[in-house]
Amino acid sequence: MSSSATQVASPRNRAVEIASQIAIVVAASFFVAICARIYIPLPGTPVPLTVQNLGVLLVGLALGSRRGFAALALYLAEGASGLPVFSPHGLGGIAQILGPTGGYLVAYPFVAALTGYIFERGKATFAQAAFASLAGEVLLFTFGISWLYVLTHSLARALSFGLYWFIFAEVIKIMLAAGVVRSWQALFARN
């Protein structure tokens, strides 16, 4: 009798686990959307300074590579479908993905995956989180500046628009993400 009760409970527990993982991924995509609403338009560049990529780093560190990638892929799908999840600084939807910030946006799932992958492979320390975040930022700016280069046909302009304005803020975001994730580790189960 107990064996049949275990067989019935197992699929139910699996369904609950799947539903909770889906809820975490959806919540993470909304978290990044909220972070996108906090921005400062900068003079001389079409790329605003946002808290959005801090959210991407936190999602990657907290959820790991697979769930982080899924959350940010969902985020892109939400934005592409017209939901107001991107920074209000741009046009929204597909136009925003094709605009000056498109390289950064397209990079987000890969940034979360890389950050999560590096962090989940090492000892969960501040230094490991900071290193994982730095690697994610390098990937983010590689995508972003490459796309700006495609749009401007000038590496100097791409760097001016997409890098120089942001270096100081990104260092702060890396340190903040590494510090915050230490307190989040108790909240998120890592698989």
**Each residue's pLDDT tens digit, 59-78:** 999 999 999 999 999 999 99
Q: Is the pLDDT of residue 101 over 60?
A: yes
3-state class of 49 per DSSP?
strand
Q: What is the pLDDT of residue 187?
A: 60
Least confident of 114-118, 127-131, 181-185: 181-185
Q: What is the pLDDT of residue 1?
A: 45
Q: What is the pLDDT of residue 13?
A: 87
Least confident of 11-20, 28-37, 106-115: 11-20
Average pLDDT over residues 105-114: 98
Q: What is the pLDDT of residue 191?
A: 45
Which structure tokens are listed for 84? 């107001």
Which structure tokens are listed for 59? 């999602």
Burial class (CB in 10 A: 0-12, 13-18, 19+), 44: exposed
* Residue 137 to residues 17, 100, 114, Cα–Cα distance (Å): 31, 17, 10
Considering the chain, what is the average pLDDT of its residues? 90
Q: Is the pLDDT of residue 186 over 70?
A: no
Q: What is the pLDDT of residue 188?
A: 52
* Residue 20 to residues 13, 15, 32, 38, 188, Cα–Cα distance (Å): 10, 9, 19, 28, 11
Of residues 187 and 175, the one with the higher pLDDT is 175
Q: Is the pLDDT of residue 42 over 80?
A: yes
Q: What is the pLDDT of residue 9?
A: 55
**Each residue's pLDDT tens digit, 124-142:** 889 999 999 999 999 999 9
Task: Output the CA torsion 61→66→68→72 (10° steps).
Answer: 160
**Each residue's pLDDT tens digit, 160-170:** 999 999 999 99
Q: Is the pLDDT of residue 89 over 90?
A: no
**CA Rg, the chain, in Å?**
18
Q: How far apart are CA 153 and CA 167, in angstroms?
A: 22
